[in-house]
Chains A and B, each alone.
Chain A
């Protein structure tokens, strides 16, 4: 009996080896760092992403106006909660830090409820540090009246640099 058990465990070993296989490693400039209790990581417990890694994630869109643009715009990017789930992130809130040193705390429940986007493109054009890129956290403001208040506008962070799961 013992022999069978040991064999079973030994058989599973290769899966650990491939634990980070879907994640990959960034080849270009790292534009996003995700820190926290993750099941998948590629840089000392953190998950670093370059542009191509982000672009290979499943994409979604939200069409909405916001605190910056008074006319609705089409935002495209991966769903943030899905990415966190994929990474096996454990925690109820995330701390988002932007390039301009702005920080904001977001709740995982909100991210899930509203399918909040980690947008990269605005109206088909990629966002840069000269406007709201590389990442703009977009809530579906136009679709949900209760989001159209300062509380959520302040959570809609532009020039996102890193996300820390708490």
Chain B
């Protein structure tokens, strides 16, 4: 489909030739009109009349002259006083008449143009000259008179012929002038005719042109309409397609997460219960696989959202610990499975209140760390977090270094593009969707941060991320800062012996402690720090030996399975859960010398005692997971298979909390919640949405409908516990 703008440019604008033709025609018509008006003006000035007047005058003089001659003839024939008187009178009349004719200004003007004014003047003088001649003709002197009259007559006759010739010439001139004028008029008429024809032709052409242009316009308009309609339809289709995709993704998200929730949840429960080490190992892998799968699904969903430009920042207040804790847990798991150490270097205190999108930050860190672990066989992975503070601005620096396979220059260039991995062999060897880094970069850029990579092939890789955040309002800030300063000043007196089965780990930990101002491996020791995630045979005996040999407080940083075996170790032992992180270690130096068992992985079994919880969930596996989790915590659990059953149960009993799945048959979570609130079936019971559907718009709708909170599936048991405690307090 061609671009509409092209269509407009090409077709709507009238062809240049047409426009030029139009202008030309217009000019022709205008020129013609101007000329026509001008020439008509000229014609008007000329009249036929002078010609007739001239002919009149000229014709008039000749017979008058002849009349005079005739009178003279009469006297000559019969000379007497009577005929003499008649002759004289006749002369006087004719003379006056002739002079009236040709001695006037008007006649003079005409003869000036078409005759000879001098000649006329001469003739007039001659005529006047006869006055004297006729005076000499006296009564009774007829013989004398007759002699005189002969010459007078001859003169008149000569005058007559002269006038004749002259006047004929004048008339000829007039006729010539007339002919010229008529020719002129003829020419004018012809011009006018041609002009009219030109105007007529031009008008017809102009009208035809206008019609053509009009039709062109109409056609273009129709085409435009059709094109617009097509584009509109295409747009609607595209939008629908996008909507369909989103709906599909949302459905898929739910469909896939639900069973995954079951796999991960139940595996975790089993892992916690089982004593058999091997089986524990299997279950670890199951959880790992499930988590990986979940990660992949999340990656795909995130990628889709980013592609659709729908990724948004979910800004909230959080502690650094909120980000680090999940990372520590999951990455330790993965690193332990690989058999490599995972170290977390943090600011001395992780209890720093920040404001930003913690979920995305966690995701980025997790992605980078899991990549590092994935591509490292020997050595280890170090996650370094630091914060540069400037008033209320806090720049979060994240670095993930590994001693893995590394990247070439070329690979470093392309690594952030989607679907790119180091090379195909990498894909085969290490698996993965290749989306992780692309998503991470998109997220980092969304948060207006920077992400970069430096690497040496075969030696290792460093990923560096900087994200600008702001300091959150923290009412306990001063309190915390004082505590923290206390911690730091105390640490100056420390000297720690670092031990562990992995060199990499020992070296990195030493580096970290030194950066905190703690002396390392310098006698006399104040503490011993032993860190390990590996299983070592006769572990308990070895630890006992360690504690006894140094005689100073020992800090054991161990993974969960090792912890259980040294739970009841005697002596000044502090046990902290792996992975090593600066803040927890720093903390532990200042704790009491008694052995403390950190029961973080085992939830307090009495956390939810006496709480009755109604769970509305249609999937049996999910029901099992939730029920088991809650029962372990001491709660009393009732199950409803769908919204309707939930409402039924509420009619008969009251509960402390309702966990409502959203997608259920018969009646879904939203409808059920609406009904519950409308009918006030559980006025004091908070309703929590428990669903795999984590799209922002949907979460907002849960709250709108009247739910108190939302817990995403698969859920973190600790989070569930905290939430329940919080809402039923």
Contacts and interface: CB of A to CB of B under 8 A. Distances in A.
A100 B105 contact: no
B93 to A, nearest CB: 5
A100 B53 contact: no
Given A68-B104, A70-B105, A158-B100, A129 B60 contact: no
Nearest to B51: A150
Nearest to B131: A130
Interface string A105-137: 000000000000000000000000111100000
A99 interface: yes
A69 interface: yes
A101 B92 CA distance: 14
A132 B49 CA distance: 24
Contacts of A70: 104-106
Contact of B56 (A69, A98, A131, A154): A154
Contacts of B67: 100-101
B53 A159 contact: no
Interface string B66-110: 010000000000000000000001001111110010001110000
Q: How large is the interface on B (under 10, 10 to 19, 20 to 34, 35 or more residues)?
A: 10 to 19
Contacts of A68: 100, 104
B64 interface: yes
A106 B63 CA distance: 23
Contacts of B201: none
Interface of B is mostly: helix
Contacts of A69: 104
Contacts of A101: 63, 67
A131 B92 CA distance: 9
Interface string A135-159: 0000000000000011001100011
Contacts of B97: 98-100, 102, 158-159
A155 to B, nearest CB: 12
Contacts of A90: none
A129 B106 contact: no
A67 B106 contact: yes
A70 B108 CA distance: 11
A100 B64 CA distance: 7
Given A100-B64, A100-B67, A130 B92 contact: yes
Interface string A78-117: 0000000000000000000011111000000000000000
A102 B61 CA distance: 11
B387 to A, nearest CB: 110
Contact of A132 (B64, B92, B96, B106): B96
B60 to A, nearest CB: 7
A159 B104 contact: no
28 contacts: A67-B106, A69-B104, A70-B106, A98-B97, A99-B93, A100-B64, A100-B67, A100-B93, A100-B94, A100-B97, A101-B63, A102-B60, A102-B97, A129-B92, A129-B93, A130-B92, A130-B95, A131-B96, A131-B100, A132-B100, A149-B49, A150-B49, A150-B52, A150-B53, A150-B56, A153-B53, A158-B100, A159-B96
Interface of B: 49, 52-53, 56, 60, 63-64, 67, 89, 92-97, 100, 104-106
